Amino acid sequence: MSQNTQVFEVAPSTDTFSGARQHALPKRHARLLPAFWGLSLLALIALVLGGCGATSAPHGSTTPTTVTGTAVNVYFARHPDTDNNPTAVVAVQRTTSAATIQARATFALEALLQGPTAAERSQGLYSPFDGHVGADFLCQGASRNFDLTLDHRGTLSETGTATVQFCRNVTIAGDLDGPRMSTMIGSTLMQFSSIKRVVILNADGRCFDDLQGQNACLNATPSGYAVVVYFSKHPESDSAPTSVFAVKRVSPTLGVATYGLGQLLAGPTPAEKAQGYYTPLEGALSGASTCNGADFTITLNWNRTHPETGTATLQFCRAMAGLGDTGTAMAQNEIVRTLMQFSSIKKVVILMRDGSCFNDLAGCL
């Protein structure tokens, strides 16, 4: 204390002690000081010493909370990038406190199924899983969306391969939605260095998005997916438009129906043309697309305006030149045979850009 000592009292208060809250003792209370000097001085010293080295937040304030955790990527589709290229998915970040690869990967997949946030959707991000995951849990035991098994291809051990098996039914609306879903899951899981390959299974253990029904995902990793494309051929088809002939192609993705139709519209290769193969569809489309640049869309399990299991609806997105009666019949047979090679497609409906039937004489089959 200085020589000009002032007398202080510690006023009863629930506030945090602060030197700014000390008050000079009024003179009329001076006579009470001797009785309580010892106790008040000790209390004052204890309070001062207790506050040394400590930083107190201002009265009424809260200390900021720092969010800690590990950032993981979750991949979604985005308009217009992914509309025609199902592998063009985009990463957003989520934060998890999970410590293991298994737990982090599970967290990332759960976030994927939850879909983009409202802010992300306003930037064009979307998920083909929205509205296409069933309500019932089909796996035995506790309710869950999926099982994730590391270092396994199905039930077989395989280092570096992760198997995701859905525990709820997942429906695939369009032919390219399957590859979008698969790419989102694969990209989300393969951000983890120990995961090199991803196998996706339905709740019943069959390969996800397997139009060919061959369960190829449970075999060695394929370099592509074999499809056939049906063309007309001189001279056989000239007088018999129902006579179409298969040539082989390899699809790089599971969007095999879309790939096969794209190959049909592109026409035979020069070598195939030399053998007499042709299609009236080659070069028939023109003008602006009504489908974000695509030539057509294929909607599975859908008949024009309503659901119908086993029916694929093909709708062209550009104007089509007149093919004539014979050319239209040829094209229709080529399309139907190309799409119905896939076991899940039992019927094909073909629509023009404006929604009218492709073959007015035959109607929308």
pLDDT of 62 reads: 46
pLDDT of 252 reads: 85
| pLDDT of residue 214 exceeding 50 | yes
d(CA 302, CA 318): 21
Residue with tokens 């047979």: 333
Pairing of strands 161-166, 197-201: parallel
d(CA 178, CA 209): 6
d(CA 104, CA 98): 5
Q: Phi and psi for 28 in degrees, rounded to 5?
A: -70, -15
d(CA 83, CA 271): 32
| pLDDT of residue 319 exceeding 60 | yes
| pLDDT of residue 363 exceeding 80 | no
DSSP conformation class of 214: S
Please state, in angstroms and as integers, the Cα–Cα distance from residue 171 to each residue in 128, 129, 211, following that order.
10, 8, 13
Amino acid at the residue 53: G
Q: How confident is the model over 281-287, as a mean pLDDT? A: 96
Confidence band, pLDDT 50/70/90 cuts, at residue 53: very low
pLDDT of 103 reads: 97
Q: Is 40 in contact with 4 (CB distance < 8 Å)? A: no
pLDDT of 365 reads: 62
> What is the four-CA torsion angle of 284, 289, 295, 296, rounded to 10 degrees?
-110
Report helix angle 324-339 to 256-266, nearest 10. 150
Contact partners, residue 156, CB within 8 Å, separation at least 6? none
Q: Domain residues of the chain, as ranges?
A: 8-51, 70-218, 225-351
Number of Cβ within 10 Å of residue 249's Cβ equals 20
Confidence band, pLDDT 50/70/90 cuts, at residue 58: very low
Q: How confident is the model over 240-254, as a mean pLDDT? A: 92
Confidence band, pLDDT 50/70/90 cuts, at residue 221: low
11-20, 232-241, 307-316, 346-355: least confident range: 11-20
- At 108-145, the pLDDT tens digits run 999 999 999 999 999 999 999 999 999 999 999 999 99
**N-terminal to C-terminal alpha carbon distance within the chain:** 103
d(CA 318, CA 297): 11
pLDDT of 257 reads: 94
| pLDDT of residue 55 exceeding 50 | no
Helix (H, G, I), strand (E, B) or coil at 235: coil
Pairing of strands 306-316, 347-351: parallel
pLDDT of 290 reads: 93
Question: What mean pLDDT, rounded, does the chain reach?
Answer: 83
| pLDDT of residue 23 exceeding 80 | no
